[in-house]
Structure 1
Amino acid sequence: MEFDETQARALIKTADPDGQVILIGSAGHHDRYNRLQLYSFATAPALEQRRDVFGEIFRAVCGVIGEPTILGGGPNGPDVRWRNAGPRARVLRLRADTRNIWIETGLAEELEDEELTTFEHGGFGGSSGPSDFPHLPYTWQLIHLGPGDTAEYLPGGRLASTLPHLQEALKTLVKVWIEQLPIQQPGKKATFTIASSGIKGGLSFAYDPAKGILLRIGSRTGDSVDGLRR
């Protein structure tokens, strides 16, 4: 779960021979690192460039250490995780923001407890203010087929207290899926349903990288047939 300089440089050379490697280590431990910066953009890149570079590095890392345990990410960027099993499990995270791509590692329990607390107790700005959906630890996670355990307790999600909060949550989710899903799950689509007492069958939402965003709205009270809207 730790990398030395030779391993880090081998990873980035596999991903992009022109990539910049910055190694960050704790004092007195110059051969071991808990955070490795793998790539830095000189200027803020466009979405396509940012997605393409992360995809190259993601595939290179998977080629070296195997498939991840958990896929996912948030508004700041992707957050892909490899996790050990056992009471002293560690989690390795491949992360990115708008300018940097890096690997970091730490104790799984500490990270997961902190994230669980944020989901359960993080504050809203009140019904008249903005929600905190864009500031949660992650927007989406998908348990993958790679080795390792998931967290013992997973967040139960966050309810939207108002319609504007729901709109903000959906906007946040759509934005991160457009950037992150095609790289982490090529050719796959994601779906979910919003239940409503006034809509039979609810509102089914799908994001398909090839077709875009699809919405299917069930019949409302008094309607004779289901409607399909895209």
Structure 2
Amino acid sequence: MTGSTDPAAQAATAAEALFTSTGDTGLEPVTVLTYPAGADRLARREALRPVYEAVVARIGKPTLLGGSAGGPSVRWCTAERVLLLSGDPAHVELSVHEARTFEDEEWNTFDGTDLGRKGQPHRFGELPYTWQLDRKGPGKATSWTYNGVMVAHGWDHAVTGLELMLAAWVEQYPVQAPGDWIGFNLWTARDWRRDMIVSYSPGDQGRELAVGIHDRGAEQTEERQARMRERGWQILDEHQWWRTALPETDPDAPRRIAELTIAECRARGATGPNELRAHDISAGDDGELWLTGLGLPTHPSRGEHF
């Protein structure tokens, strides 16, 4: 560590020391950023940005991008070790791990996590990561990764999962993948081939969080339009797409988008989250994006990883 009081410079030095050290991976985690009490997700995001950029400038691009419900989950990997940048609403830290042990423990955590039943905590926060993006960065990505699908036990639980995912994107994604959008298509088995599109687009100022559905085949009577607007839809365009977009500055926007999305699935006949399917999951059409903590069935669940 240097004598600098700049958190970004200190983080870069710590990352280099941990990642290039030989032998012992049992080193204590190093806190590289502490957030002010009460900092919201946007304040935390902007506080992390220079720290993250300094680490990348010093040791190179990560092997895997991602985040948990509480904070970032970015890793630089070799065959022997994993450097993990992780955090929660209070702080961000760097830690180094023996690669195989880390992979096994992470898989076991996924495999042993019950998302909970009615009346119990949602437990999305216990997952090592809720989203992960593999853009074939340098290093050796783990091959032994969780490939199951954990489905929410009910509609309220599904809203919570989607809300936490969207909130995580707002806080974490623009720092790790500046300028890119992220999102997925969603359909319900009882309204076959009618996709909804759920997305987060940091460049669409004031309309970053959005959901849309193609309402083709339905006569847009005044009564129908009134019902759609009551559910939370804002705009009907000339191609029969209903759309709602909310600003990331609204702290309630992730939940409002999640509630609207799930309400629309229910209105179109879905009887449970297991009848939904997220597909065309993408981050700027670049790399493989896995939504492990979405709480809804996904296709594919983990692709080539096993």
Q: What stretches of structure 1 of length at least 5 have no aligned partner? A: 26-31
Name 1:207's counterpart in structure 2: 200
Deviation at 1:219, TM superposition (A): 4.1
SS at match of 1:95: strand
1:85-164 to structure 2, matched below 5 A, reads 85=79, 89-156=80-147, 157-164=149-156
Matched-pair contact (CA < 8 Å) for 2:8–2:51: yes
Distance in structure 1 (CA, Å) of the matches to 2:70 and 2:97: 20
Alpha-carbon distance between aligned partners in 2 of 1:124 and 1:145, rounded to the nearest angstrom: 30
Match of 2:72, SS?
A: strand
| Structure 2 residue 51 is the aligned partner of structure 1 residue 49 | no
Query: What corresponds to 1:29 in structure 2?
Result: none
Q: How many residues get paired?
A: 208
Separation in structure 2 between the aligned mates of residue 127 and residue 40 of structure 1, nearest angstrom: 35
The Cα of 1:16 is off from its aligned counterpart by: 5.8
Given the alignment of the two structures, is residue 80 of structure 1 paired with residue 70 of structure 2, yes or no? Answer: no
How far did residue 63 of structure 1 move?
Answer: 0.5
Larger relative contact order (CA 8 Å, sep ≥ 6): 2
Match of 1:60, SS state, is helix
* 2:253 corresponding residue in structure 1: none
State whether residues 77 and 97 of structure 1, in contact with CA within 8 Å, keep that contact through their aligned partners in structure 2.
yes
Deviation at 1:166, TM superposition (A): 1.3
In structure 2, runs of 5+ residues without a counterpart are 19-25, 220-238, 245-306
AA at the equivalent of 1:229: R
1:61 CA displacement: 0.4
- The offset of 1:42, in angstroms, is 5.5
**CA displacement 1:132-173 (0-9 Å, x = unmatched):** 223211111111342112221322232223222211110110
CA distance in 2, matches of 1:194, 1:161: 18
* Mapped contact 1:119–1:158 kept (Cα < 8 A): no
Q: 1:117 to 1:194 in 2, by over 3 A?
A: farther
Per the alignment, residue 157 of structure 2 pairs with 165
Give, as a single letter, the amino acid of the residue that structure 1 aligns with 2:96: T
TM-score (normalised: structure 2): 0.60
**Structure 1: which amino acid aligns with 2:95?**
E
Percent identity over paired residues: 29
Query: Separation in 2 of the partners of 1:120 and 1:70?
Result: 20
Give the equivalent residue in structure 2 for 1:28. none
* AA aligned opposite 1:172: L
TM-score, with structure 1 as normaliser: 0.78
Letter aligned with residue 50 of structure 1: R
What amino acid is aligned across from residue 212 of structure 2 in structure 1?
R
**Is the 1:193–1:203 Cα contact (8 Å) retained in structure 2?**
yes
Counterpart code for 1:105: V
2:212 corresponds, among 210, 213, 216, to 216
Instruction: Supply the distance in 1 between the matched residues of 2:178 and 2:101 (Cα, whole angstroms).
Output: 31
